[in-house]
Chain A
C-alpha cells in the first residue's frame, strides 16, 4: 500500500522562485491537509480540504495556495519562495468519519536560499 506519497523529498529554491509540492493518496480519503514543521516545533496547519473542489485555510496560509481537483491529489504551491518558508512539509489524509486517524506522508524538506 502506497498510502500518502509526497514528492519531492528534498528541494532547494532561491528566493522568489515558485514551485509545487505534490501529495497523492490512494486510500480514497476525502480529507487532506498540509502542515509545516519548523525545527524544534510542532506541526502547524497550512491548508486543508474536505473534498474535491473544497479547500480552506489553516493556521499559517500566507504565501501558499492549494487546489483539489481530484480526491487523490492535493498539491501545495509556493508562489514566491521566501527564506521564512524553509521547513519540512507534511501532507496528511483521513476518511473524515468520526474517530478516524490521519495518515501522514514522509515529508518534503524545503530550503529557501
Chain B
C-alpha cells in the first residue's frame, strides 16, 4: 500500500471549514484513498473514501487531485465534536481488504 504523509496537527475555528491535506505520491491506479477519525480513545470511525472522483457524504467531502498524488478532506462546518485524530489511508483491494496501515494521523483541534 502507498505511504501517506499528513501534518501532525491543525487548528480550526468552530463553524469554519476544516481542510485536512494528505500526500500519497506513490499511489497506484487501483488504490483507494480512505479517511478515518478517532475521537479520544474510541474505535476509529469511517468518514469517506474515493478512487478518482471527488466524493461527498453527510460527514465530509473528499477532493482528490487529478494526478491522485494528494487529497484533501473537508469538514464544511467544524464543531467541537470534530476534534479528533484524522487518518488518511491508501489501500489496495484483494486479500488486503482486512489490513489497514495507520500512520500518525493529523490531530485536529476545533476551537470555540
Task: Name A's B-contacting residues (CB within 8 A).
Answer: 4, 31-33, 35, 41-45, 48-50, 58, 88, 90, 92, 94-107, 109
Contacts and interface: CB of A to CB of B under 8 A. Distances in A.
Contact of B41 (A31, A32, A45, A88): A88
Contacts of A99: 32, 49, 51, 93
Interface in B2-55: 32, 34, 36, 41-46, 49, 51
Contacts, number: 68
Interface residues of B, number: 23
Contact of B98 (A31, A44, A97, A107): A31
Instruction: Give the interface SS of chain B, mostly helix, strand, loop or mixed.
Output: loop
A50 B43 contact: no
B100 interface: yes
A4 B87 CA distance: 20
Instruction: Give the interface SS of chain A, mostly helix, strand, loop or mixed.
Output: strand
Given A101-B34, A106-B43, A43 B98 contact: no
B7 to A, nearest CB: 15
A105 B99 CA distance: 15
B103 A42 contact: yes
A99 B34 CA distance: 9
Contact of A58 (B44, B93, B95, B99): B99
